[in-house]
């Protein structure tokens, strides 16, 4: 049995129609899902640190560079999402183009990305939440807001928000999307409040020097803030639930990317134009700038928007994780019983419970910052394999219907591969070590269970017995 056996797109689509998810998402819904996951930790946390330590005011150029690279990846993803409208995103695309073993390892990497990433976001949500309560005179005991390694017992707010969103996701995609819409508009409102209050205070003198760390700083800054765009993959996990994936997926992916890149650049310009960049080395740069300008009420409002922003990121990350698990279990690479749909809500409730409880435990008891970089490497690996896959399918399956085609694929694709490799190369050595350990465990799981239990393996065995 070949570990490089591939799935047929037509069979996957038929399978998804028989045992698939409810199609309830339009282009607008998908765009909001994208905005929900892209605008969060990056804009509310990462911009200040990256400006202070890596790029200075030239962080604006870093976002241009990173945004252009993600645009290359997004164009390739859009072709795949429109052509293969099935849950699983990069995992499913790799299964179709490059074979089962590589697909399993991509899916295994996505498990790491979404679970660790969601846990880290839940921890950040807890920090903002307790901070706002403290500013109002309500102080929660540290034993219930810190993980054991930081002197607490459990990070209870992180656990509770994870479990609450788990229940929302169990109720189905439509309910999750409606919650996401409300939170996205709150988050965008907070950003526009920041721009309205701080924008008129911009002093161009703060942009001098514009390149305090040189062009190397721009490149390093792009690698650091690339984390802000890792949600692009999670948008593609919604393809099976799109009403018209050939139309809705490319619009949703590219529109959300464009909107978020413009907002990132604008916020960065205002931040560095109102406050000298060395002062932005804080985990709450947006609220810090407003407080520094004397807008205490505005700072509180934007802090509330930051909570909404982190909530949407957490919703979409947990959502994407459940859909990746769903796709892998439906293919038999992990137990198929996990992909059972709820009889009332139509959601994959078993894997949703598993993901929600795992995120709650990690965020409640683990210092996530020690492994947070692994979120980046798991996604970049998935990006890398997907781009190779879309180029290979152009060569090996030119007759397949493509509702959306990536323009100049064999120019854009290699450029995206080069930058993904550059970003991965700039990650710390311990991140690579941990990633290799995790992927080695994945190899063991695949050969011990997935290789012989996959649907394709059983089909091969059946065909062999017939002959």
Tens-place pLDDT, residues 120-134: 788 878 877 887 777
Q: What is the chain's mean pLDDT, rounded?
A: 81
SS3 for 131? helix
For tokens 């183009």, the residue is 97
Q: Is residue 122 part of a domain?
A: yes
Find, among 112, 81, 91, the residue nearest to 328 by Cα. 91
Distance separating the N- and C-terminal Cα atoms of the chain: 15
Question: Across residues 254-281, what is the average pLDDT?
Answer: 89
Report the percentage of the chain scoring pLDDT > 90. 13
Residues 274, 275, 276, CA angle at the centre, nearest 5°?
A: 130
CB 88 within 8 A of CB 15: no
For tokens 């003198």, the residue is 205
**Has residue 283 got a pLDDT over 70?**
no
Predicted confidence band of residue 426 (pLDDT cuts 50, 70, 90): confident
pLDDT of residue 464: 57
Which residues of 76-175 form beta strands (DSSP E)? none
Question: Across residues 327-348, what is the average pLDDT?
Answer: 80
The count of domains in the chain is 1
Predicted confidence band of residue 87 (pLDDT cuts 50, 70, 90): low
Interaxial angle between packed helices 429-445 and 373-396, expressed in degrees from 0 to 180 and rounded to the nearest 10: 60
Q: Which pair of structure tokens corresponds to residue 145?
A: 């807001």
Give the CATH number for residue 403: 1.20.1740.10
pLDDT tens digits for range 338-374: 778 777 777 788 888 988 999 999 888 877 555 556 6
CB 373 within 8 A of CB 428: yes
Residues 80, 10, 338, CA angle at the centre, nearest 5°?
A: 80
H helix runs in 275-372, sequence order: 285-292, 296-330, 349-365
The Cβ of residue 439 has, within 10 Å, a number of other Cβ atoms equal to: 16
Q: Which pair of structure tokens corresponds to residue 378?
A: 């798991």
Q: Is residue 372 part of a domain?
A: yes
Q: Is residue 17 part of a domain?
A: no
Q: Is residue 2 part of a domain?
A: no
**In whole angstroms, how far apart are CA 39 and each of 80, 313, 325?**
24, 8, 24
CB 105 within 8 A of CB 459: no
The backbone torsions φ and ψ at residue 243, rounded to the nearest 5 degrees and listed phi first, read: -65, -40
Find, among 35, 373, 31, the residue nearest to 229 by Cα. 35
pLDDT of residue 462: 47
Q: Is residue 116 part of a domain?
A: yes
Question: Across residues 293-312, what is the average pLDDT?
Answer: 81
Report the percentage of the chain scoring pLDDT > 70. 87
Q: Is residue 11 part of a domain?
A: no
For tokens 């947006």, the residue is 286
- Alpha-carbon span 73 to 429, nearest angstrom: 25
| Host domain of residue 389 | 23-461
Q: Is residue 197 part of a domain?
A: yes
CB 25 within 8 A of CB 172: no
pLDDT tens digits for range 195-252: 999 999 999 999 989 999 888 888 888 877 776 776 676 676 666 677 777 777 778 8
Q: Rounded to the nearest 10 degrees, how much is the dihedral formed by the CA atoms of 92, 97, 101, 106? A: -50
Kindly write down the DSSP assignment for every residue of 394-441, as one continuous string: HHH-TTS--SS--TTHHHHHHHHHHHHHHHHHTS-HHHHHHHHHHHHH
pLDDT of residue 269: 94
CB 126 within 8 A of CB 155: yes
The Cβ of residue 384 has, within 10 Å, a number of other Cβ atoms equal to: 19
pLDDT of residue 15: 59
- Alpha-carbon span 420 to 417, nearest angstrom: 5
Q: Which pair of structure tokens corresponds to residue 227?
A: 């984390």
Q: Is residue 1 part of a domain?
A: no
Find, among 359, 354, 357, 362, the residue nearest to 326 by Cα. 354
């Amino acid at each position: 049995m070949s570990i490089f056996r591939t799935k047929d797109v037509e069979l996957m689509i038929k399978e998804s129609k028989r045992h698939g998810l409810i199609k309830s998402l339009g282009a607008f819904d998908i765009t909001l899902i994208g905005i929900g996951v892209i605008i969060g930790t990056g804009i509310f946390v990462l911009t200040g640190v990256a400006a202070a330590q890596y790029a200075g005011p030239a962080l604006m150029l870093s976002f241009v560079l990173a945004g252009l690279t993600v645009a290359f990846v997004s164009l390739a993803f859009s072709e795949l999402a429109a052509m293969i409208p099935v849950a699983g995103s990069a995992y499913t695309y790799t299964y179709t183009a490059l074979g089962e073993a590589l697909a399993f390892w991509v899916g295994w990497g996505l498990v790491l990305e979404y679970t660790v990433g969601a846990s880290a976001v839940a921890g950040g949500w807890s920090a903002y939440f307790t901070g706002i309560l403290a500013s109002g005179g309500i102080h929660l005991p540290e034993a219930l807001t810190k993980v054991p390694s930081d002197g607490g017992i459990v990070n209870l707010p992180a656990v509770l928000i994870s479990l609450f969103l788990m229940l929302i996701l169990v109720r189905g995609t439509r309910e999750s999307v409606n919650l996401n819409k409300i939170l996205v508009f709150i988050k965008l409102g907070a950003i526009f409040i920041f721009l309205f209050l701080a924008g008129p205070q911009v002093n161009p003198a703060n942009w001098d020097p514009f390149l305090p760390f040189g062009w190397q700083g721009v490149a390093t800054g792009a690698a650091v803030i690339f984390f802000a765009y890792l949600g692009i993959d999670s948008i593609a996990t919604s393809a099976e639930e799109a009403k018209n994936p050939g139309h809705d997926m490319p619009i949703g992916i590219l529109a959300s990317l464009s909107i978020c890149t413009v907002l990132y650049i604008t916020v960065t310009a205002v931040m560095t134009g109102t406050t000298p960049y060395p002062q932005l080395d804080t985990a709450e740069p947006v609220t810090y700038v407003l407080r520094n300008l004397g807008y205490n009420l505005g700072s509180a409002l934007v802090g509330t928007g930051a909570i909404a922003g982190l909530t949407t990121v957490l919703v979409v990350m947990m959502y994407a994780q459940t859909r990746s698990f769903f796709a892998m279990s439906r293919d038999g690479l992990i137990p198929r019983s996990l992909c059972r749909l709820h009889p009332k809500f139509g959601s994959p409730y078993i894997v949703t419970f598993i993901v929600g409880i795992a995120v709650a435990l990690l965020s409640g008891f683990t210092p996530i910052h020690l492994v947070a970089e692994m979120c980046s490497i798991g996604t970049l690996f998935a990006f890398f394999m997907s781009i190779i896959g879309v180029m290979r399918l152009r060569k090996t399956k030119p007759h397949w219907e493509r509702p959306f085609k990536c323009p100049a694929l064999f120019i854009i694709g290699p450029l995206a591969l080069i930058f993904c490799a550059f970003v991965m190369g700039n990650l710390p050595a311990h991140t690579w070590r941990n990633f290799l350990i995790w992927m080695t465990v994945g190899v063991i799981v695949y050969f011990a269970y997935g290789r012989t239990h996959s649907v394709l393996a059983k089909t091969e065995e059946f065909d062999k017995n017939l002959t």
